[in-house]
Structure formats: C-alpha cells, structure tokens
Amino acid sequence: MAEPGGYNQGGRAPKASGGWNWIKNKNAAAVQITAEQLIREAYERQGSAQTAVRQKVLDGEELGDYQMRRRREFEEGVRRNRSNMGEWLRYAAWEEAQGAVSRARSVFERALDVDARSQAVYV
C-alpha cells in the first residue's frame, strides 16, 4: 500500500516514467544537513545574487560607453516584454538619474503608448 508521499513501504519509489525503482541504499547519509542549514544557505545565496556591481567611470568616453551599453540593455528588456511597466519605469528612472530628463520623458511617453491605462506611469 502506498504512503501519502507516494513511496511504497517495500523500498520502492515511483519513477518519472510510471514504473518503480528499487531503493538500493537505505542507510543515512554520511553528512546530515539540518533545515536550519538549508534555510541559511538559501538566504545567503539570495543575498549574494542581489548585490549590484559598482563600476568606476574614469573619463567622458568611458561614461558614454557605459550609458550606451545600459540603454541597449534597457531597450532589449522593453523589446522582449513591452507590457512590463516595471522595466519601463526602471529605464526612465535610470535616464533621470543620469540627468537626461528629455530622454526620461521620452521613455515615459513610449510607455504610455504601450499601456495608457497604467497608473504606475502616472505616479
């Protein structure tokens, strides 16, 4: 008789193909991991993935290259999913932070062309 987890008491486990596999080694693992360790590791990995890399810009030419690269990345993002208003707003906020208010306004207007009913664009 099968248990609630889908495993049979006879040492068999269901295969993805619908058959049954025999579990050969029922011994405990040499290294045991607690739930606390799993949660801590997941939290650490999540924090490291969100850390942004800081880049130092040394001259005007390097700044121009950086801005063009970021604009290309934003344009690819909004081209992939035009209805993602979050991407449009991040793009416009970045342009505004760069001091390019006319470009930021242009991004907002393009976002309104995609979805004029989005309240996030107006706020």
d(CA 94, CA 107): 10
Three-class SS state of 14: strand
| Residue-level pLDDT at 77 | 92
pLDDT of residue 13: 58
- pLDDT tens across 62-94, in order? 999 999 999 999 999 999 998 889 999 999 999
Q: Which residues of the chain have pLDDT under 50?
A: 1, 3, 7-8
Distance CA 51, CA 45 (A): 10
pTM of structure: 0.55
Q: Would you state the torsion angle of the CA atoms of residues 36, 38, 41, 43, taken in this order, to the nearest 10 degrees?
A: -70
